[in-house]
Amino acid sequence: MLAKIGRNDPCWCGSGKKYKICHQTFDERIARIASQGHKVPSRKIIKNAAQLAGIRESCKINIAVLDYIEAHIHEGMNTAEIDQIVYDMTRRMGGIPAPLHYQGYPYSVCTSVNDQVCHGFPSKDVVLKSGDIVNVDVSTILNGYFSDSSRMFCIGEVSPEKKRLVEVTKECVELGLKEVKPWGFLGDMGQAVHDHAFANGYTVVREIGGHGVGLEFHEDPWVSYNSRRGQEMLMVPGMTFTIEPMVNMGKVDIYVDDKNKWEVYTADGLPSAQWEIMVLVTEDGHEVLCW
């Protein structure tokens, strides 16, 4: 149970304002929606202005690193080189690569090629060749604040089928983003993603989804893209989370590498694509913090 706050007490958000002119009406609206049986966010995942300022600074590093990768990734490059670039750039700009040593993950970035769905290990033995598609997933810690985004890259001459998968997956993210607005539900976004993928003949991975991020690497809520409008958690101003559907060209089934327990592959060996953005729910819509 949350401690009762008096109308004239300082607001729980840290703004310094009285509760009655800051978050009292906000809390009452959330309570009404919760009473209808909906899942609602806890206060700990709602960011205040100071926290958002710190998160935006972390995002600047994340975006800069991915911009550099986008300008320099090429055929013949091995994915260990990408890992080194991410580490060096992030540290030089004052940040820390969030994946490094996270729950035992041994690298600074995830590089997932072709049928790798996510969490691909960078390696000198994985040399990018013409026709490959690769997801580079970068996450940054700066002064305790987290950012997270990923992009797809087409190497050399990529088949029309793979290009279409990459393009449709990006469209899924864009359509999902349009549904991010205060007092809607994550399922509104999830269904938009799901419907566009399936309309184009693809499937969306079920077991792995997006997540809250900002004060921790992975926070509530868990974000599904196999959800329905009007379901999942209520979206309210101050929430930050990722939109990152993993879209398979073939069947939805996946498996995890038995040896390293990290790398995820499509069960049928067909390609998978993922784009990831980090978004903030605002008073009148959304803001893309990281891409």
Cα separation, 241 vs 218, whole angstroms: 9
Which parts of the chain register pLDDT below 50? 1
Cα dihedral 44/46/48/53 (nearest 10): 110
Domain extents for the chain?
A: 41-290
Tokens of 157: 């001459």
Question: Tell me, what's the pLDDT at 234?
Answer: 98
* pLDDT on residue 2: 58
d(CA 16, CA 21): 11
Q: Which tens digits make up the pLDDT trace of 8-50?
A: 999 999 999 999 999 999 999 999 999 999 999 999 999 999 9
CB distance 279 to 286 below 8 Å: yes
Burial 93-124 (b: 16+ CB within 10 A, else e): eebbbbbbeeeebebbbbbbbbbbbbbbbbee
What pLDDT does 11 receive?
95
Q: Tell which residue, 181, 183, 188, has the closest CA to residue 28.
A: 183
Residue 131 tokens read as: 């026709």
Could you tell me the sign of the dihedral formed by the alpha carbons of 85, 90, 94, 96, in that order?
negative
Determine the Cα–Cα distance for residues 43 and 24; give it in Å rounded to an integer.
12
Beta bridge partners of 210: 223
Question: What's residue 59's pLDDT?
Answer: 98
CB contact set of 229 (below 8 Å; sequence gap of 6+): 185, 187, 188, 191
Instruction: Map residue 191 onto helix, strand or coil.
Output: helix
For residue 178, the model assigns a pLDDT of 98
Confidence at residue 3, expressed as pLDDT on a 0 to 100 scale:
66
**Superfamily (CATH) of domain 41-290:** Creatinase/methionine aminopeptidase superfamily (3.90.230.10)
pTM of the model: 0.96
Dihedral class, residue 161 (left if φ above 0, else alpha if ψ from -120 to 50, else beta):
alpha
Backbone angles phi, psi at 92, to 5 degrees: -65, -30
Identify the pLDDT of residue 4: 81
